[in-house]
Amino acid sequence: MLSFTAHGPDTALPPLLIAPGLFGSGRNWGVIAKRLSAGRRVLALDMRNHGDSFWADSHTYPDLAADLAAVIEAEGRACDVMGHSMGGKAAMMLALTRPGLVARLVVADMAPVAYGHAAAHGGLIAAMQAMKLDDLTTRAEADRRLAETVQDPGTRAFLLQSLELRDGPVRWKFNLAALAANLAAILDWPEPLPAGARPFHGPALFLYGAASTYVRPESHEKIRALFPRADLHSVTGAGHWLHAERPREVEAAVEAFLRR
């Protein structure tokens, strides 16, 4: 089963699962998870091929949805599910194929459409694969090496959160080979949907960064076709990483939605 960090008490409210995006981890969501856990159990997940979760050759959205379903079934009741980016597509797929497991759905800066970011994401994978690790001792040196191919300091800082420097050999906590092999599937959206999938009629909130290009106006119709009760909410001043750029606004929107 997926690795996760649990926060908060087990109460009558449904547990909240947080499914991070590509190259993300439950650790990236730690502060938000803690703040949302005042009155409920919150599980910040590592998706397959990420963090402390298991590695697998296959990395499709039916796979990821099945991983989320296994966590929910272990919890023993339907959960609220929030996913960002790749995790948002996994959460959508779960809601469309196993609606009985999802009480409320929150999708952060993602739509049920295919994206064309293969060169950018593939470049990050190649940069991590090419970086010399065996003699690394400090994160500052790791940043210097990664800067040779990854220009943006924020992107480097984000990736380096998943570089293991302390316990055992230095390594990326990603299955980079599997992510590279499955990148096309990660950026895609299954069309047609798997057999048995149907629109999710439960409450749904789609948050998106006002400065992001991931949820365009032309995507709104597709979202509402698959999620008829969806509320769409723009987060001012945020791009794709809205939970890092505007965490308090994201928390407030999610808390208000989950209290309905």
What pLDDT score does 176 carry? 98
Distance CA 227, CA 93 (A): 11
Q: Per-domain residue ranges for the chain?
A: 4-113+189-259, 117-183
pLDDT digits (tens, 9 = 90+) for 112-153: 999 998 999 999 999 999 999 999 999 999 999 999 999 999
pTM of the model: 0.96
Q: For residue 170, is pLDDT > 90?
A: yes
pLDDT digits (tens, 9 = 90+) for 57-87: 999 999 999 999 999 999 999 999 999 999 9
What pLDDT score does 260 carry? 87
Best CA proximity match to 112, nearest among 208, 4, 244, 252: 208
- Residue 170 has phi, psi (to 5 degrees) of -65, 135
Distance CA 171, CA 28 (A): 18
Best CA proximity match to 185, nearest among 61, 19, 55: 61
Task: Specify the CATH number for 4-113+189-259; select among 1.10.260.40, 3.40.50.1970, 3.40.50.1820, 3.40.47.10.
Answer: 3.40.50.1820
Residues 80-107, mean pLDDT to the nearest whole number: 98
